[in-house]
Amino acid sequence: MSTCKTCSQELIIELDPEDFDEATSSAAGGQPSSVPDDLFLTCGCHFHWQCLLDESPKIATNGACPSCNQAIASSSGQILSKYHNEGGIQENLDIAALVREEAYLDANPSARPARAFLTMCAEGDVVGIVELLQAISTDSDEGDISPAEILRYQDPLNNMTSGYHIAIANLQQEVVWALLWLASDIPDDVFPDVVTREARALGGGREMTRGVDIRSLMDSEGNVGADLVVGFWTSSLGMELLKVYQAGGV
pLDDT tens-place string over residues 177-208: 899 999 998 888 888 888 888 888 877 777 77
Same domain assignment for residues 147 and 239:
yes
- How far apart CA 90 and CA 18 sit, in angstroms, is 27
Same domain assignment for residues 28 and 144:
no
pLDDT 10s digits, 47-58: 999 999 999 999
Same domain assignment for residues 44 and 149:
no
Which parts of the chain register pLDDT below 70? 1, 17-32, 140-143, 228-239, 241-250
Q: Please identify, among 104, 133, 153, the residue that sits at the C-terminal boundary of a domain.
A: 104
Same domain assignment for residues 91 and 126:
no
Secondary element (H or E) of residue 13 = strand 12-14
Per-residue pLDDT at 192:
80
Expressed as residue numbers, the domain containing 86 is: 12-104
Same domain assignment for residues 81 and 159:
no
Taking phi first (over 0 means left), then psi (-120 to 50 degrees means alpha), and beta for anything else, what does residue 39 get? beta
Same domain assignment for residues 19 and 138:
no
pLDDT 10s digits, 18-47: 655 544 444 455 556 889 999 999 999 999
Residue 108 near residue 97 (C-beta atoms within 8 A):
no
